[in-house]
């Protein structure tokens, strides 16, 4: 895997995140040397799901009000319909995503999380994939949706679902490795 030593990665999640879409990327990022922070719209813990069953709780490192996009080199958004649907309407999430995109920073987004990109007004003209049930939402927002396990488009990598995690994690680490760490800038 590519070296991510010295890089800070933000993961934005709330209750209802798809467990493997948060825990597996965290594992891959840490194995590659990244510092990973779980960020949420509230302090404490966020509770995951395994599709329709309760999953693990994850400690929140920082709330959205405590961090700035400039604090991070890269961003990962896990899926889970409830997670993405709740976060897409949070103004701080939309602002965070817009700032990341404006700076050209890399983002790795899986499953239902592209909804957050739609609500931030970022998908028009982009090629991406997602969980199949939101493809109409992406197309209606101006994206070119494709049914592939992983899609890299500029500073984004997207995937459809938990079964795509090996390809997603591989491409996420490669994409994040291309950007110099903040400490090297």
Concatenate the DSSP letters of all residues of 54-82 into one string: EEEEEE--EEGGG--GGG-SEEEE---HH
Residue 154: count of CB within 10 angstroms of its CB: 12
- Cβ atoms of 20 and 10 closer than 8 Å: no
Catalytic residue among 51, 62, 112, 132: 112
- Extract the tokens encoding 169: 């994690």
Distances (CA, A) of 57 to 46, 70, 89, 145: 5, 27, 22, 32
Give the integer Cα–Cα distance in Å for 27 and 7. Answer: 15
Cα 128 from Cα 47, distance rounded (Å) = 27
Q: Give 52's contacts (C-beta < 8 A, 6+ positions apart).
A: none
At a CB cut-off of 8 Å and minimum separation 6, what does 94 contact? 88, 116, 119, 120, 121
The yes-or-no answer on residue 112 being catalytic is yes
**What are the catalytic residues?**
112
């Amino acid at each position: 895997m590519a070296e991510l030593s010295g890089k800070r990665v933000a993961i934005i999640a709330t209750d209802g995140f798809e467990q493997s879409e948060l825990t597996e990327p965290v594992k891959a990022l840490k194995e590659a040397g990244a510092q990973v922070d779980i960020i949420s719209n509230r302090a404490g813990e966020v509770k995951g799901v395994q599709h329709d069953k309760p999953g693990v709780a994850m400690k929140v490192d920082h709330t959205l009000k405590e961090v700035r996009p400039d604090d991070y080199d890269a961003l990962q958004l896990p899926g889970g319909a409830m997670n993405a649907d709740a976060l897409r309407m949070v103004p701080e999430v939309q602002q965070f995503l817009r700032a990341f995109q404006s700076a050209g920073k890399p983002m790795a987004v899986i499953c239902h999380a592209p909804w957050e990109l739609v609500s931030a007004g970022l998908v028009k003209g982009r090629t991406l994939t997602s969980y199949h049930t939101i493809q109409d939402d992406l197309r209606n927002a101006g994206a070119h949706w494709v049914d592939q396990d992983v899609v890299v488009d500029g500073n984004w990598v997207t995937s459809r679902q938990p079964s795509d995690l090996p390809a997603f994690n591989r491409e996420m680490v490669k994409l994040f490795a291309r950007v110099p760490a903040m400490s090297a800038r």
